[in-house]
Amino acid sequence: MKDCNQCGKCCIKYGNGDLAATQEEIDLWEIFNPDIFEYVKDGKIWFDPETREQLDRCPFLELVPKIKVEEKDKYTCSIYQDRPEDCRLYPSLIDEMVRDECEMIEIDDLENPNKAQKQLDKLMSSSRP
């Protein structure tokens, strides 16, 4: 399994209404991060602060400036330390990564999914509760 290369596919796929934040996270944003809290509506994320419509894309996903034009797009999260639990817990399952075309997956992971899952569990252990 490769390291995450910040391809952004997961954030692009799930950032348009398929992410959830816990009530505790929302409460903390309200107090300490009003710039994040303004994108919350009725306990759900991410909504346009002005129109109150669901956004098509996570507002905190940023394209990293390229040094060379031929480089692949690379993304970063502008609220990385305060991102919601759903984001912190991704990726959690090999099947999900394959479905999402996560670029951490290698041929060997497809051939040995159980081994790959164990490797992933170890890799993600510090992010999981």
What DSSP line would sit under 72-101, residue for residue? PP-EEETTGGG--HHHHH----HHHHHHTT
Identity of the residue, 29 or 60, whose beta carbon is nearer to ligand SF4 in the bound complex:
60
Helix (H) or strand (E) holding 23: helix 23-32
Nearest to 19 by CA among 49, 52, 61: 61
Contact indicator for 76, 6 with CB cutoff of 8 Å: yes
- The least distance separating ligand SF4 from the CB of residue 112, rounded to whole angstroms, comes to 18
- The least distance separating ligand SF4 from the CB of residue 51, rounded to whole angstroms, comes to 19
Identity of the residue, 3 or 51, whose beta carbon is nearer to ligand SF4 in the bound complex:
3
- The least distance separating ligand SF4 from the CB of residue 20, rounded to whole angstroms, comes to 11
Contact indicator for 11, 58 with CB cutoff of 8 Å: yes
- The least distance separating ligand SF4 from the CB of residue 7, rounded to whole angstroms, comes to 4
Binding site for ligand SF4 (CB under 6 A): 4-11, 15, 19, 58, 60-61, 77, 79, 83, 87, 91, 100, 102-104
Identity of the residue, 5 or 22, whose beta carbon is nearer to ligand SF4 in the bound complex:
5
Identity of the residue, 35 or 103, whose beta carbon is nearer to ligand SF4 in the bound complex:
103
| Residues ≥6 apart with Cβ < 8 Å to 7 | 72, 73, 74, 75, 102, 103
